[in-house]
Structure 1
């Protein structure tokens, strides 16, 4: 039995973005509507942890057409290594 598995990649969305594409990327990965993901982040922001989680996700999630996350690019630049995508 041969099945075609498509690999989902956890990344920030380039097309469905409001600020940085984090919620759009999470929505595409999980199959949930992006508006619902955004509302969940707003609720968490009012509870005190949403902003931190959003910034952390922005740093750790690579953009849709890049191989490395923003944090990895910053670390590689700090170390003097080329940050090839």
Structure 2
């Protein structure tokens, strides 16, 4: 579930960090790194659509 707090854009990185118990900063850095190769943006948008919002 994408949280309503601790989010910057859509909460995708926060949701992944919560699910796997790792740092949100680490997940965000991973998306930036993979974004340099053009894959991160596509994955982020797909996860934004697929991961439901928290109530």
Scaled by the length of structure 1, the TM-score of the pair is 0.63
User: What corresponds to 1:44 in structure 2?
Assistant: 34
Deviation at 1:26, TM superposition (A): 0.6
Scaled by the length of structure 2, the TM-score of the pair is 0.94
User: What corresponds to 1:70 in structure 2?
Assistant: none
In 2, Cα distance between the equivalents of 1:44 and 1:38? 10
Runs of 5+ consecutive residues of structure 2 not aligned to the other structure = none
User: What corresponds to 1:53 in structure 2?
Assistant: 43
- Structure with greater helix share of residues: 2
- Give the number of the structure with larger relative contact order, counting CA–CA contacts within 8 Å between residues 6 or more apart: 2
Which protein shows a greater Rg?
1
Runs of 5+ consecutive residues of structure 1 not aligned to the other structure = 1-10, 66-85
Aligned length: 55
